[in-house]
Amino acid sequence: MSEAVAAASYRTRKGIWSVLILVILEAALVISWSAGFVGIRFAIDHAPIFLILLWRSLVSGLLLLPFALIMGPAMRWKDAFSQMLFGALAMSGYLAGFALAISYGVPTGLVALIADMLPLAVAILSWPVLGQALTARQWLGSLLGMAGVLIASGWSLNMGDVPLWAYGLPVLGTLSLAMATLLQKRSPTSAMPVYQSLCIQCLSASAIFAGFAWHEGAVLPVLDRGFIGGILWLVFVATFGAWSLYYIALRKSSPARVTAILYLSPPVTMIWAWVMFGEPLSFAMAGGLVVSLAGIIIVARSQKPTHAA
């Protein structure tokens, strides 16, 4: 009897530790996921935006390159070309969209909220790309999500220092990432390990950003501690840290739970921006956040789960 009690006690302690580790992992994921927005907001005080995006992508790609070449498998040009296309959409379009919005003064937390509406963008683009019409629940969730963004952005529009069109930049970036997501579902090429696909996407994005950075006036890094610190933050915390934690969380939990956890990144980003940069908070932003997240959850739960090949 005592052995049975001891075994049950051991299983209970093991279960508690497993839950605690998962909660810590998920908290780290939310913080690192929010770090990309905060890192961009910090780095724009030290360098032009496309120079920041160029060196974030280039350093990330070069650090991944030895793993991509040595660990294999051997890459085919057909697969590499597809990843270059996805990099142009998912990396260049997405990063440029939200980074430019932040550089023009759109509140960092609002940008994070719009960028977190990826499930809505995927649902909206599924009809023209995949021929999948939106269900009634998806329409409801999409309308709620957009209403929440309008509520949250209505307050910041009163600030008067941000051009109106700048609010469309993170929307375009999110649509670009959604398009890349849908095209990857349609792609006939074999799946690559994440370190290979991320390497190719980062390097192809850096080539695109190099052209824009040259047009801005410089492609060489700024020898400034703020710039170097910002790039290291974006590479190791926002890129490697966030994506590594994302895949570890997927292994230890369900995709639905991980997706739901990531919905916490906009409020965390808003708090970071308030603490670090003095970006004001408001009841309108908080209310819009709640409405948008409700819409996103409705859309995410109404989508059919996809299974990896």
Q: Could you read off the pLDDT of 37-80 as tens digits, one per residue?
A: 888 888 888 889 999 999 999 999 999 999 888 887 777 777 77
Dihedral, 88, 207, 92, 306 alpha carbons, nearest 10: 40
Is 217 in a helix, a strand, or coil? Answer: coil
Q: Write 22-28 long-range contacts (CB < 8 A, 24+).
A: 22/249, 22/252, 22/253, 25/245, 25/248, 25/249, 25/252, 26/249, 26/253, 26/258, 26/261, 28/241, 28/245
Q: Residue 134 gets which letter from DSSP?
A: P
Whether residue 288 contacts residue 149, with contact meaning beta carbons closer than 8 Å, is answered with: yes
Chain-centre distance for alpha carbon 140: 24
Structure tokens at 13: 């302690």
> Helix H segments across the chain?
2-43, 49-70, 77-86, 94-103, 108-115, 118-130, 136-157, 169-186, 194-216, 225-232, 242-252, 255-262, 265-277, 283-302
**pLDDT at 33 (0 to 100):** 82
pLDDT of residue 135: 74
According to the model, what pLDDT value does residue 88 have? 83
Write down the residue that tokens 């023209």 correspond to: 128
Query: What percent of the chain has pLDDT above 70?
Result: 77
Please tell me the predicted confidence (pLDDT) of residue 56.
92
Q: What is the pLDDT of residue 4?
A: 55
Question: Which residues in the chain show pLDDT less than 70?
Answer: 1-15, 119, 127-134, 150, 152-160, 184-191, 247, 250, 253-260, 296, 299-309
- Cα 202 to Cα 57: distance, rounded to the nearest angstrom: 5
